[in-house]
């Protein structure tokens, strides 16, 4: 008898299965490369850096939502315009002076810890120093005009919390994470790492929203209890952030500047003073255009946020309800960002830095059109509940998608722009742009809106002027992005040539 060969699945010979498995394995590798383009040996380092970014954004979201709740529900959204100019702007200047001085005295590791620690100490002191009665008996004040400033002074603990949280929002993303990442992530890996950093950080607002909705402000707690629960989470994250930072430096990699110094044998350029740093920033067209990008985002988001938040306060006047709404909004921002990231990473990877940098202002331009159209066509001071909720929802969509575009496209592209710069420009130029630039953007927008309120009577009636300013800034943003893209590509090519030589 002749032995028949054993048949494999579906009647196929065993030898024909191997090519199919090989093709399937190849497809899986391609899918992994598209979704998670990190080599196996780099996964631990990426997870550490991604974990640090997650914690930074988690704390940022918690404190941002709480600061808005404290100020908007007690004084009104218009009070933010006074705080940003008379509180946040001077605080940013003082921080820049201190940071510039400390950068000349401390190592990068010590400077990182010295920058992060004061924020978490302040949050703990706030939670236990502010009387519970002041938090639990918050009532919206009926104020107008300069009375907003008076309310801010009367609620100075809330104002101080707002200023510190605004300062943290710039310091945490720009310096505590991105500056550290720029030091330790090689240029050839940045295009794979940086879009994924944004994807990891988009999960933080989702977790934050769930934490606040179901625990910190679940509708059965007082405002004082909610504040302490938020601060408890913030403190735990602060400890973890410091631990991850130190663990990475000890087990994986020293800052890139030290590596380059040991390889080339060249001495590092002398560090500049604070005044010299400002002059250096003004004399560099590259950093100048980059400053316009950061400034433009701060202005445009400021022009739309105050109007929207004033509408949210009308819909949710109770502090806990307002806090829960902001938590839901943050969760939706995180979910939107998570999905937008897939588009954003492909834009930067396949279409280049220029296209990625232009995507954010163009998206904000398109989203602002219906928002301002409603503001100009409807009477915002005489709305029924249905119309009010419609305006709130429309403003939430505009703000949510704008923030998603920022997290998915704006942050990665602007931070990638620092990579070709020398160590001096990274440290001093980045501190000036991220802290002073973004603060001047938001503080300048606040000052402009203060003037509009005095002229028109309210920010709502000033909507036509706000819209005109918004679209003018978008135009300047787009022009600067085009100019910066040319210099960025030229610097990258020059740096690659230096490596080859």
How sure is the predictor about 235, in pLDDT bands with cuts at 50, 70 and 90? very high
From 4-8, 14-18, 302-306, 426-430, the region with the lowest mean pLDDT: 4-8
pLDDT at 263: 41
Tokens of 351: 């279409």
More confident residue, 156 or 38: 156
**Domains annotated on the chain, with CATH:** 41-257+273-491 (1.20.1250.20)
Measured in whole angstroms, how far is the alpha carbon of residue 169 from the centre of its chain?
7
pLDDT at 336: 84
- The answer to whether the CB of 72 falls within 8 A of the CB of 313 is yes
Residues whose CB is less than 8 angstroms from the CB of residue 38 and which lie 6 or more positions away in sequence, other chains included:
46, 192, 193, 196
From residue 76, give the alpha-carbon distance in Å to each of 96, 140, 334, 459, 474.
29, 7, 26, 12, 27
As a whole number, mean pLDDT of residues 495-500 equals 70
| Closest-CA residue to 244 (of 444, 44, 469) | 44
How sure is the predictor about 53, in pLDDT bands with cuts at 50, 70 and 90? very high
Share of the chain above pLDDT 90, in %: 19
pLDDT at 251: 80
pLDDT at 260: 42
As a whole number, mean pLDDT of residues 256-262 equals 42
Exposure class string for 124-133: b at 16+ Cβ within 10 A, else e? eebbeebeee
Alpha carbon distance 384, 479 (integer Å): 41
14-28, 78-92, 383-397 — most confident range: 78-92
Alpha carbon distance 448, 302 (integer Å): 10
203-207, 270-274, 372-376 — most confident range: 203-207
pLDDT at 271: 44
Q: Which residue has the tokens 């994986």?
A: 252
pLDDT digits (tens, 9 = 90+) for 127-145: 888 877 778 777 766 666 7
Tokens of 298: 């701060």
> Integer distance in angstroms from the first to the last C-alpha of the chain?
72
Please report which residue ranges of 7-88 form alpha helices under DSSP H.
Answer: 17-35, 43-74, 79-83
More confident residue, 426 or 273: 426
More confident residue, 358 or 254: 358
Alpha carbon distance 224, 138 (integer Å): 10
Helix (H, G, I), strand (E, B) or coil at 266: coil
pLDDT digits (tens, 9 = 90+) for 331-361: 998 888 777 766 666 666 667 778 888 888 9
pLDDT at 368: 84
Residues whose CB is less than 8 angstroms from the CB of residue 196 and which lie 6 or more positions away in sequence, other chains included:
36, 37, 38, 46, 50, 345
From 9-23, 323-337, 423-437, 450-464, the region with the lowest mean pLDDT: 9-23
Alpha carbon distance 66, 231 (integer Å): 10
| Closest-CA residue to 172 (of 366, 414, 434) | 434
pLDDT at 238: 93
Tokens of 164: 């510190």
Q: Taking the model in full, what pTM does it have? A: 0.76
pLDDT digits (tens, 9 = 90+) for 3-46: 555 555 555 555 556 666 665 555 566 666 656 667 677 778 88
As a whole number, mean pLDDT of residues 301-312 equals 87
pLDDT at 5: 52
pLDDT at residue 169 tops 50: yes
Q: What is the mean pLDDT of the chain?
A: 79
Tokens of 1: 């008898």
């Amino acid at each position: 008898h002749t032995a028949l060969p054993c048949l494999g699945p579906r009647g196929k010979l065993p030898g024909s299965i191997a090519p199919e498995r090989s093709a399937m394995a190849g497809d899986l590798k391609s899918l992994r490369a598209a979704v998670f383009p990190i080599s196996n040996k780099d996964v631990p380092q990426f997870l550490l850096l991604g974990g640090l970014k997650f914690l930074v954004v988690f704390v940022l979201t918690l404190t941002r939502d709480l600061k808005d709740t404290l100020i908007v529900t007690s004084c009104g959204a218009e009070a933010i315009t006074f705080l940003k100019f008379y509180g946040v702007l001077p605080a940013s200047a003082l921080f820049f002076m201190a940071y510039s001085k400390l950068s000349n005295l401390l190592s990068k590791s010590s400077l990182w810890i010295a920058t992060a620690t004061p924020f978490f100490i302040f949050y703990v002191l706030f939670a236990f120093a502010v009387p519970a009665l002041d938090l639990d008996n918050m009532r919206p004040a009926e104020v107008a005009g300069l009375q907003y400033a008076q309310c801010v002074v009367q609620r100075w603990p809330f104002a101080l919390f707002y200023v510190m949280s605004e300062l943290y929002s710039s310091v945490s993303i720009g310096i505590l994470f991105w500056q550290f990442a720029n030091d330790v992530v090689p240029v050839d890996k940045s295009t794979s790492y940086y879009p994924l950093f944004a994807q990891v950080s988009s999960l933080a607002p989702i977790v934050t929203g769930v934490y606040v909705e179901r625990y910190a402000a679940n509708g059965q707690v007082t405002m004082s209890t909610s504040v302490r629960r938020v601060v408890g989470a913030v403190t735990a994250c602060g400890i973890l952030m410091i631990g991850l930072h130190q663990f990475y430096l000890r087990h994986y990699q020293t800052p890139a500047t030290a590596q380059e110094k040991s390889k080339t044998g060249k001495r590092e350029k002398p560090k500049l003073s604070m005044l010299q740093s400002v002059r250096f920033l003004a004399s560099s067209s590259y950093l100048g255009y980059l400053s316009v990008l950061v400034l433009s985002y701060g202005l445009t988001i400021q022009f739309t946020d105050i109007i929207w938040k004033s509408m949210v306060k009308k819909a949710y006047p109770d502090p806990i309800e307002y806090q829960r709404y902001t938590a839901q909004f943050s969760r939706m921002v995180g979910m939107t960002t998570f999905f937008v990231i897939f588009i954003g990473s492909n834009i930067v990877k396949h279409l280049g830095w220029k296209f990625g940098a232009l995507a954010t202002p163009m998206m904000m331009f398109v989203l602002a059109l219906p928002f301002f159209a409603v503001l100009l066509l409807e009477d915002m001071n005489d709305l029924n509940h249905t119309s009010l909720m419609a305006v709130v929802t429309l403003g939430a969509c505009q703000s949510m998608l704008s923030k998603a575009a920022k997290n998915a496209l704006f942050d990665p592209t602007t931070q990638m722009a620092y990579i070709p710069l020398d160590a001096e420009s990274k440290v001093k130029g980045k501190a000036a742009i991220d802290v002073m630039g973004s603060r001047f953007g938001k503080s300048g927008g606040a000052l402009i809106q203060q003037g509009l309120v005095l002229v028109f009577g309210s920010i709502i009636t000033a909507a036509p002027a706000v819209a005109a300013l918004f679209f003018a800034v978008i135009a300047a943003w787009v022009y600067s992005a085009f100019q910066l893209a040319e210099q960025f590509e030229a610097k990258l090519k020059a740096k690659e040539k230096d490596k080859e030589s």
